Chains A and B, each alone.
Chain A
Amino acid sequence: MSDQFEPRLIGFLCRWCSYNGADLAGTARLKYPPNMVPIKTNCSGRIDPTHILKAFKEGADGVLIAGCHPGDCHYINGNYRTAGRYPLMEKLLEQMGLEHGRVRLEWVSAAEGEKFQHVVTEFTEQIRALGPLGWGEQFHDESAESEEATKEAVPV
């Protein structure tokens, strides 16, 4: 075991293109880091911003969203919804103090096993460089604050 930080990544992959792209990478025996947990969704447009926030809250260091190329969506325009949500989500996460780059959107088709390999490898290294997010940890001090509250209760 090395001491290198291993990022925990969540990948939301659309079932029609990107998940098949991941399958192709597997059947072609392409090698890429094992850090990402893939989650199959029906469409990248099905990925609610709630899912992304919940992933970060529950310990993910990075979230990848992958869907069909524009024009290729199985549901005609689901990925256009994703295209609109993503920049707004990035802006919101930046306001919440997350470093730029912890969430990433990629279009990966069912034929692009190599692109999938490349994206996951690059994203893993990108998050490794950013370091752990540790979203839950900033609340650890709270119980200490609360004890202080009992001590410092203001008698009137």
Chain B
Amino acid sequence: MTDKFKFAMYWAGSCGGCEISVLETGTKILDVDANFDVVFWPAAADFKYKDVEAYDDGFIDLCLFNGCVRNSENEYIAKLLRQKSKVLVAFGSCATTGGIPGLANLASAQEIKDLVYRDNPSLDNPDGVYPQEHYAVPEGELDLPHMYDTVKTLAQTVDVDYFMPGCPPESHQIAGVLDVVITALKGEGPLPAKGATIGVAPKTCCDECKRVKEEKKISSFRRIWEFLPDPEKCLLEQGVICMGPATQAGCGARCTSVGMPCRGCYGAPEGVIDQGAKMLSTVASIVDAPTPEEIAEIAASVPDPVGTFYRFGLADSLLRRAKV
């Protein structure tokens, strides 16, 4: 071990995209190597949980934690890394607001298992075999982590220092954050205030989007595969549900620049408690029809309000999960 700063990155309930986005920082990864020793990073280096358990408390200077807390293993590691880390960052949408896995909060763990192992029409499982948490084999007992009913964010599990949203966080934002952290660790600059959302820009995604925005009045909703959107005009004004107005800026509006509506991965802008509620309000407010009945009918034609407005934020929303 050298006297470099110690770096850890962990994936809990996540897809691995956050790891890729760190590698996507290009030559910035050399700065990481120049300033940090990797002491735990399952995707990139061969360390075991017992190695982390053996570290002194606060041994890790910077820990980027991506993924939601979905099961007992995620929760155990979240608590372990909190104990061992000086700076713990909820990295990416899943750790920050639950992300796509947070949509599992529309069902219970049992409902999900029933669908996956019993009810899915393409299954071939005549004996109704379900995965068991404990299974005895001649060599001993095998264990699987316990899957929770409710997907939790990192901050609902442990104390978090910073939040960095995005699915995944944009590489230029990661590079910027790494610069700030390295400067601060060297004692040459301040760290942001605890609890801050970092790697984002003020205002909303619309502010970064280059499309031309005029008065928003729509008479029907369209999906992106139903027509070829005008390349210059605001997507929302063309009837596509674009989460831009209710989403924190910072990504550079990359999706809308290639004709895809914003899906809201950067989370709620500053001051907004519930991203989905704000977007619902926006969408319903721009419906234009002569009578309240017609307005109501058009607004109600949004097929999946929770999946659309809370695509990345259900686990961190006011209601957090469906009642089952």
Chains A and B are bound partners: yes
Which A positions have Cβ atoms within 8 angstroms of B? 48-50, 52-54, 56-57, 70, 79-81, 83-92, 95-98, 135, 138-139, 141-142, 145-146, 148-150, 152-156
> Contact partner of B280 among A89, A138, A145, CB < 8 A?
A89
User: Across the interface, which residues of A come within 8 angstroms of B291, CB to CB?
Assistant: 70
Across the interface, which residues of A come within 8 angstroms of B296, CB to CB? 83-84, 86-87
- Which of A54, A79, A81, A152 has the largest count of B CB atoms less than 10 A from its CB? A152
Knowing A96-B306, A135-B323, the reply to whether A146 touches B75 (Cβ < 8 A) is: yes
Contact B146 A148 (CB under 8 A): yes
Contacts of A95 in B (CB 8 A): 106, 304-306, 322
Given A53-B318, A96-B322: A149 touches B305 (CB 8 Å cut-off): no
Which B residues contact A (CB, under 8 angstroms)?
48-50, 72-73, 75-76, 79, 106, 133, 143-146, 148-150, 273-274, 276-278, 280-281, 283-285, 287, 291-293, 295-300, 302, 304-306, 309, 317-324
The 9 closest A-B pairs by CB, nearest first: A97-B323, A84-B284, A83-B292, A149-B72, A49-B277, A87-B300, A153-B76, A85-B284, A84-B299
Question: Measured between C-beta atoms, what is the minimum distance from B40 to chain A in Å?
Answer: 12
Given known pairs A80-B292, A83-B292, A85-B285, the reply for A53 and B48 (CB within 8 Å) is no
A50-B274, A95-B306 known; A84+B298 contact, CB < 8 A: yes
How many angstroms between the C-alpha atoms of A121 and B283 in the bound complex? 32
Do B302 and A53 touch (CB < 8 A)?
A: no
Closest chain A residue, CB of each to CB of B148: A145
Query: What residues of A have a CB within 8 angstroms of the CB of B143 in the complex?
Result: 152, 154
What is the chain B residue whose CB lies nearest that of A45?
B285
Q: Would you call A155 and B50 a contact (CB within 8 A)?
A: yes
Q: Taking the nearest CB of chain A, how far is it from the CB of B28, in angstroms? A: 31
Partner of B278, one of A50, A80, A97, A150: A50
- Would you call B324 and A91 a contact (CB within 8 A)? no
Decide: B295 and A83 in contact? CB cutoff 8 A. yes
A53 to B305, CA, bound (A): 14
Minimum CB–CB distance for B274 against chain A, Å: 5
Please, could you name 12 A-B residue pairs with CB atoms under 8 Å apart, sorted by A?
A50-B274, A53-B274, A80-B295, A83-B293, A84-B284, A84-B285, A85-B284, A87-B296, A95-B306, A139-B150, A152-B143, A156-B49
Residues of chain A within 8 A of B133, CB atoms compared: 152
- Contact partners of A80 in chain B: CB under 8 A: 292, 295
CB of A49 within 8 A of CB of B319, answer no
Q: Are A48 and B277 in contact (CB under 8 A)?
A: yes
The CA-CA distance from A53 to B322 in the complex, in Å, is: 12
Instruction: Give the docked Cα–Cα distance between A150 and B150 (Å).
Output: 17
Pair A87/B322 contact, Cβ less than 8 Å:
no
B72–A148 touching, CB < 8 Å: yes
| Other 4 A-B pairs with CB < 8 A, given A53-B274, A90-B300 | A83-B293, A88-B305, A145-B148, A152-B72
User: Known contacts A96-B306, A156-B49; is A149 also within 8 Å of B285 by CB?
Assistant: no
Residue of A nearest to B324 (CB): A97
* Pick from B146, B283, B298: contact of A149, CB under 8 Å: B146
Identity of the chain A residue whose Cβ is nearest the Cβ of B275 in the assembled complex: A50
Query: Least Cβ distance of A98 to chain B in Å?
Result: 7
Assess the B305–A92 pair: CB atoms within 8 A: yes
Q: Report A-chain residues with C-beta under 8 Å of the C-beta of B292.
A: 70, 79-80, 83
A-chain residues with CB within 8 Å of residue B302 when the two chains form the complex: 88, 91
Contact B72 A154 (CB under 8 A): yes
Name A99's closest neighbour in chain B (CB-CB): B323
Question: Given A149-B75, A153-B76 in contact, is the A88-B285 Cβ separation under 8 Å?
Answer: no
B283 to chain A, nearest CB (A): 7
User: Are A88 and B299 also in contact (CB < 8 A) when A48-B281, A95-B305, A152-B146 are?
Assistant: yes
Instruction: Give the distance to chain B from A3, nearest Cβ to Cβ, in Å.
Output: 24
- B43 to chain A minimum Cβ distance, whole angstroms, is 15
CB-CB under 8 A from B48, the residues of chain A are: 156
B84 to chain A, nearest CB (A): 15
Find out whether the CB atom of B323 lies under 8 angstroms from the CB atom of A138: yes
B8 smallest CB distance to A (angstroms): 16
Q: A84 touching B309 by the CB < 8 A rule?
A: no
Q: Is the CB of A85 within 8 A of B50?
A: no
Pairwise interchain contact A56-B146, C-beta atoms closer than 8 A: no
Would you call A149 and B76 a contact (CB within 8 A)? yes
